[in-house]
Structure 1
Amino acid sequence: MQRMILGFLTCAVALAFANNLSAQTQNPPPASPHLPRGAATDVTGAEIQSLVQKTAADRVSDQAIRVVSINGEYNVGIGVVHRAKTSGAQAGGGIEHSQITEIYHIIEGNATLVTGGSMDNTSEFPADHPVVAVLNGPSTRGGPIQNGVSRKIGPGDVVIIPPNTPHWFSEISSDQIVYLVVRVDPHKVLPAGYVPK
C-alpha cells in the first residue's frame, strides 16, 4: 500500500508540475544554467495510518500532513481523510473550494461521491476556520448538491475535483471511507512548510 500511495503522490505532483510547465512554455523565463532543483518530500504509509488511527473515533477527520512549496511557484498539500458510514440526512451538505484542486485517492471503503451542480443555503467558512487556514483556502459550504454527477467509488479509485466544483458524499456504504487528498495550490493560499504538531 505504501508503494501505491507514494506512486499516487508522484503522479499528482507530476500532473501539477506539467500544468505549470505548459503555462511556462507559453512565456518561458530567461535561460539560466544554474536553476535550483527541488527537494523530494516523503510521506510514509505509517504516518498516514497513524493519523487515521489517532482520529478513528471521530465521525469525520480531515488531517493535513504536509504543505510543500514547489520551488516557490505553487504549493501542494497532502492530507488524509476518514468519514464514518452515513446515508440520507446524516450525509450533511456539500462544499466547494475557490482556489484549490483536490485529488482524492481512495484507500479503504465505498461511497457515493457527487460533484458539480449547485448547493442551496451557501455560506463562506470564516478565514480562521481550519478548512480555510490549513486545508483548502477560501471555501463555501451548503446543503446537499442538486443536479450533480453521482459516482460510486472504492479502493484504488482517483477523483480530481477542480476549484469551484461543489462536492459531497451523499452516502458512505462501508463502515468508513479513508482517502488520501492531494491539494494543488497554484495561488499559494495554504501555509507552505506546514507539518502537524
Structure 2
Amino acid sequence: MGKSLFLLVLAALCIWGVATLAQGVRILDEAPLDRAADFPREDLVALFRQMSEQSIRTMRLLEGGEYNVNIRHVENVTPETFVTLVHPDTIDVWVVQEGSGTLLTGGEKDGDRQIGGVERFIGTGDLIFIPAGVPHGMKETSSITWLNIRFPEHRN
C-alpha cells in the first residue's frame, strides 16, 4: 500500500471507525492480488502507538481470507492472566518490533490454559515460527508488539 493510500485509509478509519470482527480485530485493508503492499516503518510505528494508546490488541494490516498480516500488542500479561491460543490449520510467524516478554509454546491446551511446553524470553528483532496446532501464548510481559503473519498449513 502506498503511503498516500495508507494515510487515506488511516484518516477514514479515524473518521468513520473501522471494520471489526467478532473478536475485536481491526481490519485496515484487503490483501491485494495484483500488486505489492508496502508498510513504511514510520507508518507502523504510528500504528504501534495508536494500539497502545487505545488498548487495541490486534490490528489486521491485510486480510487475505486464508492468510493475513497483523500487528499484535499486549500489555501487563502475568502467568495468572495469559491466554493460550492454538490454530489447528494455521502457521504463525512473529517478528517482534518493540518490547519483550516470556513466550510459552508447546505442551497441551486445557481451556484457556497451557500445561507444559517451552518458555523462552523474546524481544525486539526476534523471529518466531509457530507450526499449526502448537499451543502458544505470551506468558508474561509488561508490553510487547509484534508483526504476526498467518498462513494456512498445506500438507501433501
TM-score (norm 2): 0.68
Once the two structures are superposed, the pairs formed by residues 98-137 of structure 1 within 5 Å of their partners are 98-121=88-111
Shift in alpha-carbon separation, 1:76–1:53, aligned structure 2, 3 A: same
Higher strand share: 2
- Percent of counterpart pairs with the same letter? 24
- Count of matched residue pairs: 122
Query: Where has structure 1 moved over 4 Å in runs of 4 or more?
Result: none
Q: RCO higher in 1 or 2 (8 Å CA, sep ≥ 6)? A: 1
Once the two structures are superposed, the pairs formed by residues 1-197 of structure 1 within 5 Å of their partners are 39-59=35-55, 61-68=57-64, 75-90=66-81, 92-121=82-111, 142-143=112-113, 145-172=114-141, 175-185=142-152
Give yes or no for contact 2:100–2:144 (8 Å, CA) kept in 1.
yes
Give yes or no for contact 2:132–2:153 (8 Å, CA) kept in 1.
no
Could you tell me how far apart the structure 2 residues matched to 1:186 and 1:93 are? 23
Deviations, residues 58-103 of structure 1 (Å, cap 9, x unaligned): 555111101348xxxxx5411111111322313x220111121110
CA RMSD of aligned residues (A): 2.3
Higher helix share: 1
Deviations, residues 123-168 of structure 1 (Å, cap 9, x unaligned): xxxxxxxxxxxxxxxxxxx22x111011110111000111111101
TM-score (norm 1): 0.55
Q: Which has the larger radius of gyration?
A: 1
Runs of 5+ consecutive residues of structure 1 not aligned to the other structure: 1-36, 70-74, 122-141, 188-197
